[in-house]
A = this chain, B = another copy of it.
Amino acid sequence: MNIVIYNEGIHDKEEWMKNVYPQGIHGALSDILASPENSITVITLDNVGDITPELLARTDVMLWWGHAAHHLVPDSVSNTVTEAVQKGMGFVALHSAHMSKPLRQLLGTSCTLKWRDNDAERVWVTAPSHPIAAGLPEYFELPDEEMYGEYFDIPKPDDVVFMGWFNGGELFRSGVTFTRGLGKIFYFQPGHEAFPTYMNPNIRLIIKNAVKWAAPSKRLERLECPMSPAPGPVLK
């Protein structure tokens, strides 16, 4: 599988983050997906222009982590990602990527939510037969995670695979799927930069499952409005 991991890579350059993710968030994500079958390309804001239609045409699934620099991603890159998804590429948006340009462009909503700093979260499985939930227990816990709470302004998801409960009194649709064109989309809330969430075995399993699930079953070369191929009634 050809995988592209985009991490804006801003926090990753700060000293304090070395203790959480010595190789950066992209390093942690790469480590989760490393296998002989996977070819992984890492892109950060520094070389965001490498996200081209040609690259994405041969990419099966793209992961996107962004937070502080959504506005620095060019609109043209967001258009490129959106169109690649519509043609079939899978897209896994992580944590504060709820406000990223491509996800908002694909969903058509504001993607706003409530938030608060450090809390603890219990993640519940709410679609136990969904492939992304395969192998997970009924629930698991994250002792430190940023609180994201409802109302979360997203379109009605295809499936709500996970819901998060927070000590502070909020809840959230934490793992949600969408389809846009031929592309499968998964948004997953846990993954704050200040905590080693991507080291948690359950989180790692979810990321693996999600990438596998989002792989395209069919792809288009072009999006277009063709003339109709159905020439009248069915002949006997």
For A178, the closest partner residue in chain B by CB is B155
Give the residue of B105, B139, B181, B233 whose beta carbon is less than 8 angstroms from that of A167. Answer: B233
Binds B, one of A3-11, A52-60, A116-124: A116-124
* Total count of chain A residues near the partner, CB < 8 A: 75
Instruction: Produce 1/0 per residue, A210-236, CB < 8 A to B.
Output: 000000111000011111111111111
Docked complex Cα distance between A147 and B128 (Å): 21
For A153, the closest partner residue in chain B by CB is B181
A150 contacts partner chain B, Cβ-Cβ < 8 Å:
yes
CB distance A225 to B155 under 8 Å?
no
In the complex with contacts A158-B156, A181-B153, A167-B234 CB distance below 8 A: yes
24 A-B pairs (CB sep. < 8 Å):
A86-B110, A86-B153, A99-B225, A105-B108, A110-B223, A114-B226, A114-B228, A121-B234, A126-B173, A129-B184, A129-B216, A134-B218, A139-B229, A142-B234, A143-B235, A144-B236, A150-B163, A153-B181, A155-B180, A163-B171, A165-B171, A168-B232, A169-B231, A171-B171
- Residues of chain A touching chain B, judged by Cβ–Cβ distance below 8 Å, are 82-83, 86, 88, 99, 105-110, 112-116, 120-122, 124-126, 128-131, 134, 138-139, 141-144, 147, 149-151, 153, 155-156, 158-160, 163, 165, 167-171, 173, 178-184, 216-218, 223-236
